[in-house]
Structure 1
Amino acid sequence: MAYHLRCRSAPAVHEFAQAVRRALPVRDADEPRPNGTELVTEKPLERAAPNRIRQLRWSLGGGYVLVLVLLLVTDAGVVPGVLWAVAPGPIAAGGLGVYGGWQLFREAWVLRTRGITVEGRLQRSHFYNGVEQYTYAYVDSHGVRRERTGSDGGAERVEITYDPADPETTKVGRRTAGQLVFGAVLILLAGAVLVAGVAFVVMGMAALVI
């Protein structure tokens, strides 16, 4: 049976280990069992690396609140304070929209330029969050059997286009023009929202400087 004890004080750990060693019997060299004192070991604990992402969040949050307070208590005006207060909303929404639009556009572009289309056969279907999901099995160009699950499909046999460099990137059917257009439009619209949020930040900072 082994026991692991932890303590932040290195001197206390050393004194405790010494006391345990003195209390354990010392065995002869001829005995098959190991000496009890040799089983007591001391090991320094590794310090956990600081969570830099959390520190960055706290720093940004503190800076945001500080600027907001300065805008409210100084003669900067109500409008810059309101714009600064609402700026995180459009920045977050715009950033997520741009990222989502880029993912859609990139996936469609990859499938359009280097995608391979094969036949997929329906394996099973189930409901997830009220939406029916279809799982199709297909064999890629290397003879590997793969599966694709999504809300597209429904027929027993469909065409599945996949990226040979990343087989997880798939879609039902060959057409990608609609996804390309939708991704581009989403990038433009979300980009406008993101720019507006950044403009709110600039206007708030400018009100403090000027």
Structure 2
Amino acid sequence: MTSPETSSLVLHGRRRLSLRLRDGEVLLAMGGIRRRIPVAAIERIDVHGTKGRRLTVVLTGDEPVAYHLRCRSGPAVHEFAQAVRRALPVRDADEPRPDGAGLVTEEPVERAAPNRLRQLWWGLGSVYVLVFVLLLVTGAGVGPIVLWVVAPEAIGGGGFAVHIGWKIVREAWGVRTRGITVEGRLLRSHWYNDVEQFTYAYVDNQGERRELRTSDGGAEQAEITYDPTNPEGAQIGRGTTGWLVFGAVLILLFGPLLLSGVSFAVIGLTALVR
């Protein structure tokens, strides 16, 4: 359901300034502060500037206050202005106007927590490019440069495989040493990518009903084993040897690749200080 006092449009300007129309209020976010401007406090809204990219919200009052926003998209400015105009109250020319600035309220904007992982990747990427440029500029030689270029692939591929292997070993060991076995009942089955998938229902030791989706099984009743500290790792049956071996093989196969990548990176860095 839509309303003339609410719009899905979001207008973005410079310096993280944004405008929204929600529940009869224009929300102006700027500099960590959100200003709530009731449509009753707005005298008019103007569109001007090159290609209609500037928006001005003029408040009511003897000494009107105005808020300005410049957007890259002229059509977006036009559509937002039209949405606000539809929400404005109809007034007579001689109708008294309230003091618009006095109706505006302010509140702090809750900022989202920074994405630490993204910042880490950006930092590592910047360091990688910087070292690569320094190796070229300082004439470190073909060997260190090639090793530095290859290092991220070796570290990334080897590290990912080792991480998966360690996760498999950890979960299988948890099931092996702390596993609880309960009876599960087949709820349904379906085919996905030419593989039949089964969904079992069971009740854990806390009395909570859970479901397990697996390509194993098929019987109406099956034993399900799970680690109480990691119920998402439930499995059909009690066998864990195969998973332990598979995880260990991944670690043993790709661990040397990870170590080689680290060695390549160290050699590249060492070439800079010689």
Cα pair distance change 1:118/1:44, threshold 3 Å: closer
Separation in 2, partners of 1:50, 1:38: 34
C-alpha deviation, 1:202, in angstroms: 0.5
Cα pair distance change 1:151/1:206, threshold 3 Å: same
Separation in 2, partners of 1:112, 1:161: 9
C-alpha deviation, 1:172, in angstroms: 0.9
- Are 1:188 and 2:210 matched, yes or no? no
Separation in 1, partners of 2:218, 2:120: 46
Q: TM-score, normalised by structure 1?
A: 0.79
Q: Is the 8 A contact 1:25 1:37 kept in 2?
A: no
Aligned AA (2:28): R
- Structure 2: segments with no counterpart, 5+ residues: 6-23, 36-40, 43-57, 65-95
Q: Secondary structure at the match of 1:43?
A: strand
- Are 1:4 and 2:26 matched, yes or no? yes
Q: Which residue of 2 aligns with 1:167?
A: 231
Q: Secondary structure at the match of 1:153?
A: coil
Q: Is the 8 A contact 1:21 1:40 kept in 2?
A: no
C-alpha deviation, 1:49, in angstroms: 5.5
Higher percent of residues as helix:
1
Q: Which residue of 1 aligns with 2:69?
A: none
Separation in 2, partners of 1:48, 1:173: 44
Q: Which residue of 2 aligns with 1:20?
A: 60
Q: 1:157 aligns with which of 217, 221, 226?
A: 221
Q: Which residue of 2 aligns with 1:136?
A: 200
- Are 1:110 and 2:150 matched, yes or no? no
Q: TM-score, normalised by structure 2?
A: 0.62
Separation in 2, partners of 1:9, 1:152: 55
Q: Is the 8 A contact 1:20 1:40 kept in 2?
A: no
C-alpha deviation, 1:38, in angstroms: 5.9
Separation in 2, partners of 1:119, 1:19: 69
Higher mean displacement: 50-59 or 83-92: 50-59
Q: Secondary structure at the match of 2:217?
A: coil
C-alpha deviation, 1:111, in angstroms: 0.7
- Structure 1: segments with no counterpart, 5+ residues: 27-34
Task: Give the root-mean-square deviation of aligned CA atoms.
Answer: 3.1
Aligned AA (1:92): G
C-alpha deviation, 1:20, in angstroms: 3.0
Aligned AA (2:132): L
C-alpha deviation, 1:183, in angstroms: 1.1
Cα pair distance change 1:67/1:36, threshold 3 Å: closer
Where relative contact order (Cα < 8 A, 6+ residues apart) is larger, the structure is: 1
Aligned length: 199
C-alpha deviation, 1:159, in angstroms: 1.6
Aligned-pair identity in percent equals: 59
Q: Which residue of 2 aligns with 1:31?
A: none
Higher mean displacement: 149-158 or 191-200: 149-158
- Are 1:80 and 2:144 matched, yes or no? yes
Cα pair distance change 1:175/1:84, threshold 3 Å: same
| Residue correspondence of structure 1 range 59-74 to structure 2 within 5 A | 59-74=123-138
Cα pair distance change 1:175/1:68, threshold 3 Å: same
Q: 1:55 aligns with which of 106, 119, 138?
A: 119
Deviations 1:102-140 (A, max 9, x none): 111111111111111122222111233443211011233
Separation in 1, partners of 2:263, 2:30: 49
